[in-house]
Each structure stands twice: as C-alpha cells, then as structure tokens.
Structure 1
C-alpha cells in the first residue's frame, strides 16, 4: 500500500512514515526499527510454549519452539537483527533463510496487533 501524501506534501515528494503505523509490514520498516510486544497482547506460558491473544481483536496465536523464543526476546524493544543474533547464539539450529523467516513471522504478529514498532 502506497501512503497518501501528508498535509503540505505533494505527490512525488519523498515521504517519511511513522514506523509504528499498522499499515506497514516489518519488511517495509527501515533497518534498526525497534519492535516490542503490543500492550494489547496478553499471554500465558505453558510447558513448551505460549498462548497469546490480542484483547482488542480476539486474535489468538499459540507459539512453540522458535516462535516462543522470539516472543521471549520481544519482551524488550529489539530489532530484527538483534532477534537473529540472539537466536543464532542461543539455539542449535538456524534456517539458511533466517532473516526472511524471522521477518515473516514477526510481520504476522504485527499484522495481528501482537507486536508494535516503537
């Protein structure tokens, strides 16, 4: 989705955007944008994972394995690269396309309102 010009801008001008705006995906955010759990997200841990619900929308996720590890990392503001580095340092396996996989996963959480850019 291409953002419409802001007041005072004309089409074709370089537009800055708010990285916390929900219409943008994680992959569209510039490098270095910090991500964190949404205040609307409530979670409950179970033996090998976590259940998460967006209280505003009722969207529900159940995460295990790497998804659970990423959720734990998102307890504090972090970047995609910091997530990747943490997973590389603390997990025994990392997919060859780790960056793409992490971005896609975190983007699904952001689209569900469970993660926000700050």
Structure 2
C-alpha cells in the first residue's frame, strides 16, 4: 500500500484563489434595468409554434388499443425467417451455478408471534 506524500506544490494548489487586491465588489448595482419593450413584449403565434416540439408521424408503432392488439408492425421477412442453430443456442438461458442457493421463505414460529402480542 502506497502512502501519499504532501509536497509544497500540493499545499500551494490546495489554497483557494484570492481576489485581486484592487477588486471592488459592486453589490449595490446587481439589479439590472429592464427596458419597457421587454416588459410589454407579447409572444407571436409563430414563435409559440416554433417553441413546440415537432411530432413526426411514425408507422412503426400503432395507437394503443385492446391488450390483444399488436403494438409493433412485424415485417414479412421477419415473419418468414428461420432461426439458425447459433441464434437458438444464444437464446437459451444460462443454467444456474452449482453453488446457487435459492432464497428461503421466512419461517415464522408461533413462539415469536405470542411474544409480540
């Protein structure tokens, strides 16, 4: 295990940056002046239209209907495709490890239930 060595350069870099000695804070004039035109401006219909997201019509997904209805369209080529041995092998789920212990259901004893009442 290595231990860190604090060098004089690291100490110098760890100090916060100081303001310039001639710096004068101008806290009194923080509020800006807003022009009359900016205060009375109104949004045009065109600007309102441009601010909305553009929705594209897509024929990939259908409108939601009954749960039995399909949502996605499946191409004819996908419906006619046959699975290869490699794809089928990749699609099979992995077997559980030999060391895997499934979670147990909690065991409630009657003795514990009588004590809590």
TM-score (norm 2): 0.13
Structure whose residues are more often strand by fraction:
1
Structure scoring higher RCO (CA < 8 A, sep ≥ 6) equals 1
